[in-house]
């Protein structure tokens, strides 16, 4: 139950790096490094620059966790209280000790073995 609460309240970011239409890298909690094919601006001596659009793109998905938890039990209806109490009672009754049933053969000793039965049935192929 604690893990459910932890994961429902946790926020995280998934960072994906695409090279063309192909997913190259996925990272959780930090930025994706990329494939090393980032385009750089090339400047000339006259001050003008030529820019090419790179083939790589990045995408981020932000998963927001729940901010508020409802911890009050004063607004439970009678039906919900009845359900919780019956659930707790049935769960606790699972761990009660079950009495051992008396068996009729526990008072009688086992028969005495006269011969070894496995020795009588042995056969050898030569």
Task: Report if residue 15 sits inside a domain.
Answer: yes
Which domain does 25 fall in, by range?
10-36+54-65
Write down the pLDDT at residue 2: 84
Write down the pLDDT at residue 65: 81
Cβ-contact 96, 45 below 8 angstroms:
no
Write down the pLDDT at residue 90: 92
pLDDT at residue 12 above 80?
A: yes
Task: Report if residue 70 sits inside a domain.
Answer: no
Task: Report if residue 31 sits inside a domain.
Answer: yes
**Three-state secondary structure readout of the chain:** CHHHHHHHHCCEEEEEEEECCEEEEEEECCCCCCCCCCCCCEECCCCCEECCCCCEEEEEEEECCCCCCCCCCCCCCHHHHHHHHHHHHHHHHCCCCCCCCCCCCCCCCCCCCCCCHHHHCCCCCC
Task: Report if residue 32 sits inside a domain.
Answer: yes
pLDDT in tens, 64-85: 887 776 666 677 788 988 999 9
Task: Report if residue 3 sits inside a domain.
Answer: no
Write down the pLDDT at residue 86: 94
For the chain, the average pLDDT equals 77
Write down the pLDDT at residue 83: 93
Q: What pairs with residue 15 in β-bridges? A: 27, 60
Q: Once rounded to an integer, what is the mean pLDDT over residues 88-117?
A: 79
Q: How many domains does the chain have?
A: 1
């Amino acid at each position: 139950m604690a893990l459910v609460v932890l994961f429902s309240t946790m926020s995280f970011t998934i960072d994906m790096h695409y090279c063309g239409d192909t997913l190259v890298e996925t990272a959780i909690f930090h930025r994706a490094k990329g494939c090393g094919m980032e385009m750089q601006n090339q400047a000339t001596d006259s001050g003008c620059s030529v820019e090419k659009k790179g083939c790589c793109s990045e995408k981020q998905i932000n998963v927001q966790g729940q901010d508020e938890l409802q911890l009050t039990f004063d607004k439970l209806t009678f039906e919900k209280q009845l359900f919780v109490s019956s659930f707790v009672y049935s769960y606790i009754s699972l761990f009660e000790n079950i009495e051992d049933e008396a068996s009729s053969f526990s008072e009688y000793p086992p028969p005495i073995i006269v011969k070894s039965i496995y020795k009588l049935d042995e056969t050898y192929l030569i």
